Amino acid sequence: QQQVKQSPQSLIVQKGGIPIINCAYENTAFDYFPWYQQFPGKGPALLIAIRPDVSEKKEGRFTISFNKSAKQFSLHIMDSQPGDSATYFCAASKQTGTASKLTFGTGTRLQVTL
Amino acid sequence: DVKVTQSSRYLVKRTGEKVFLECVQDMDHENMFWYRQDPGLGLRLIYFSYDVKMKEKGDIPEGYSVSREKKERFSLILESASTNQTSMYLCASSQAGLYGYTFGSGTRLTVV
């Protein structure tokens, strides 16, 4: 049972384009929605995150859009660069005792071409 | 630079062997996690620990166990390795009450 569904599986855009990665969730108990970026040979690193009481968050060229009623959220990368080529994971979290347990999407492999 | 260190980058083991994957964090985090990463399946939670000697099952605990004897160290144990446990294993830690995870670079385990 995939609690967080992510699409597309892979994406190729030209430099300067705006790739969009989408995620949907089922569990309304989720209260934190981060995006992680992973380069080959490295572990995932937190990129940007949003809480469900906010509809949009921007950090540099990265924007999360959040639609609570539709239970969907997406990552937009403005003015994409070849250095943005990586695998991106959305995730959703809920508190379990003292631990915040993350449930991840299946990942999107992004390639930004020159 | 704070970090999560996984002891092995690559590991090859034989079917039936007992395998230990070690993870150490230097951030004094209360929570530690073990995930496995497989193509098309994303990251799936195996076990997590919110305190020394405390552990909880994640989504796919079958065939695995964990040990946390010290706050900074969290070990994943494959009691009897099988080929379907060939995967990338990622350790992460987080501070109690906070959401952000710090991941290690992973251990790519191959069971032959």
Cα A16 from chain centroid? 19
Three-state SS annotation for A64-102: EEEECCCCEEEEEECCCCHHHCEEEEEEEEEEECCEEEE
Nearest CA in chain B to A100: B99
The band of B97, judged by pLDDT with boundaries at 50, 70 and 90, is confident
Using the beta-carbon criterion (under 8 Å), do A106 and B40 form an inter-chain contact? yes
Domains of chain A: 4-113 (2.60.40.10)
Most B-contacting residue of A59, A102, A103, A109 (CB-CB within 10 A), to test interface: A102
Query: Contact, B34 vs B23, CB < 8 A?
Result: yes
Per-residue pLDDT of A68-87, as tens digits, reads: 999 999 999 999 999 999 99
Which residues in chain B have Cβ-Cβ distances shorter than 8 Å to A104?
35, 42-44
CATH code 2.60.40.10 for B4-96: yes
By the CB < 8 Å criterion, does B93 face chain A? Answer: no
Q: pLDDT (tens digit, 0 to 9) for every residue of chain A, 114 residues total?
A: 568 999 999 999 999 999 999 999 999 889 899 999 999 989 999 999 999 899 999 999 999 999 999 999 999 999 999 999 999 999 999 876 667 789 999 999 999 999
Structure tokens at B31: 């929570």
Sequence-ordered list of residues with C-beta below 8 angstroms from that of B39, at least 6 positions apart, any chain: none
The band of B95, judged by pLDDT with boundaries at 50, 70 and 90, is confident
Query: Contact, B13 vs B81, CB < 8 A?
Result: yes
Nearest chain A CA: its distance from B48 CA (Å): 8
Extents of the domains making up chain B: 4-96
